[in-house]
């Protein structure tokens, strides 16, 4: 707060300045350093917030449904939880994967692309033990897979992929099938090293043991349906309003009638008609008959029969 000095105080201040005995002024407190945000320009931004949010929501649904299915199949408690998501390059995504993970290449239909699902070997080995009726109390030792191991691991993986396919079908109209399972985790042919990739890390807890699953989604795998996944697919790509209206109208029943000719008569003449009376319609016989949809004329036709039933054969159309 500023205070006004009187003349005596001002004079005393000048005297102090001449004698070099100015009062010390407290230095201001330390200033807070400017906050800098490091921007990593090598990190891709292809997946928008809409993509990330909707994919994460679908993965949460997958965790619930897949855990329920595995619990029933393996007869032991299984919990799945999405613990982290990140958008990185394909090479950086592979570097984040736990060692000794099984790599499952997923074929994405109907667009013909591929994704990668990985699972730590410990998760697969515990699953195999449970499929065989066992209940391991400790983490199985890593081993080289036999033919039986590969067959059982494929069954376990297909249970996971089946549930993953269901949620992705709702998300983007996609279906997943297991293309191949590899223990060496060499997935360099799925995407280029710099391909933007969305990584979803999932923790699997089974029989008091924890393991990591990961879903690697390269941008090229969803590019054809990216707008649909983000929830902003144009109507022209799925179903336009005009085509939907046309299909709805096409199912409406309409009465079709065949008319030889028409003439207006007074009520008195109509009431006086008797069998054998001749009514002149005023239309030449060679003109055939007319087809009408309700009161709209469609065209011309020739009278005839189809077996024992009357029929007409369309000769021309008045519909442009």
Query: How do residues 231-275 score in pLDDT, each as one tens digit?
Result: 875 545 445 556 666 666 777 788 888 888 888 889 898 899 899
Which pLDDT tens digit goes with each residue over 188-228? 678 888 899 999 999 999 878 899 999 999 999 999 999 99
| Average pLDDT over all residues of the chain | 83
Beta bridge partners of 216: 116, 199
| Residues β-bridged to residue 52 | none
CB under 8 Å to 29, separation ≥6 — which residues?
Answer: none
Which helix (H) or strand (E) segment is 158 a member of?
helix 147-172
Distance CA 299, CA 319 (A): 7
User: CATH topology of 49-238 equal to that of 252-317?
Assistant: no
Q: What is the pLDDT of residue 21?
A: 61
For the domain spanning 252-317, the CATH number is 2.30.330.10
Assign domain 49-238 to a CATH class. Answer: alpha beta
Contact 196, 89 (CB under 8 A): yes
d(CA 75, CA 198): 32
CB 229 within 8 A of CB 168: no
pLDDT digits (tens, 9 = 90+) for 83-140: 999 999 999 999 888 888 899 999 999 999 999 999 999 899 999 988 888 877 777 7
Put simply, whether the predicted model's pTM sits higher than 0.75 gets the answer no
Asked if the peptide bond before residue 110 counts as cis, ω within 30 degrees of 0, the response is yes
Domain ranges of the chain: 49-238, 252-317
Q: What is the pLDDT of residues 47-91, one digit of tens each?
A: 999 999 999 999 999 999 999 999 999 988 999 999 999 999 999
């Amino acid at each position: 707060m500023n205070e006004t000095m009187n003349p005596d105080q001002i004079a005393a201040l000048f005297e102090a300045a001449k004698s070099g005995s100015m009062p010390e002024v407290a230095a201001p407190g330390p200033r807070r350093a400017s906050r800098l945000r490091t921007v990593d320009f090598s990190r891709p931004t292809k997946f928008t917030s809409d993509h990330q949010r909707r994919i994460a929501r679908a993965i949460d649904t997958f965790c619930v449904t897949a855990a329920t299915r595995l619990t029933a199949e393996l007869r032991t408690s299984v919990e799945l939880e999405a613990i982290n998501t990140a958008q990185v390059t394909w090479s950086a995504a592979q570097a984040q994967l736990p060692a000794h993970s099984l790599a499952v290449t997923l074929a994405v239909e109907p667009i013909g692309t591929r994704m990668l699902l990985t699972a730590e070997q410990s998760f697969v080995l515990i699953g195999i033990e449970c499929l065989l009726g066992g209940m391991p109390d400790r983490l199985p030792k890593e081993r080289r897979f036999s033919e039986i191991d590969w067959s059982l691991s494929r069954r376990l993986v297909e249970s996971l992929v089946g549930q993953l396919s269901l949620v992705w079908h709702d998300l983007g109209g996609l279906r997943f099938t297991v293309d191949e399972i590899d223990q060496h985790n060499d997935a360099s042919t799925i995407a280029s090293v710099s391909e933007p990739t969305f990584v979803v890390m999932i923790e699997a807890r089974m029989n008091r043991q924890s393991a990591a699953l990961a879903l690697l989604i390269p941008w090229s795998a969803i590019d054809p349906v990216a707008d649909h996944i983000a929830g902003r697919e144009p109507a022209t790509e799925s179903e336009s309003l005009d085509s939907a209206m046309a299909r709805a109208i096409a199912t409406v029943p309409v009465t079709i009638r065949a008319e030889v000719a028409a003439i207006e008569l007074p009520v008195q003449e109509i009431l006086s008609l008797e069998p054998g009376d001749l009514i002149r319609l005023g239309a030449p016989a060679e003109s055939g008959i007319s087809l009408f949809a309700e009161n709209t004329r469609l065209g011309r036709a020739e009278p005839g029969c189809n077996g024992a039933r009357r029929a007409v054969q369309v000769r021309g159309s008045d519909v442009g």
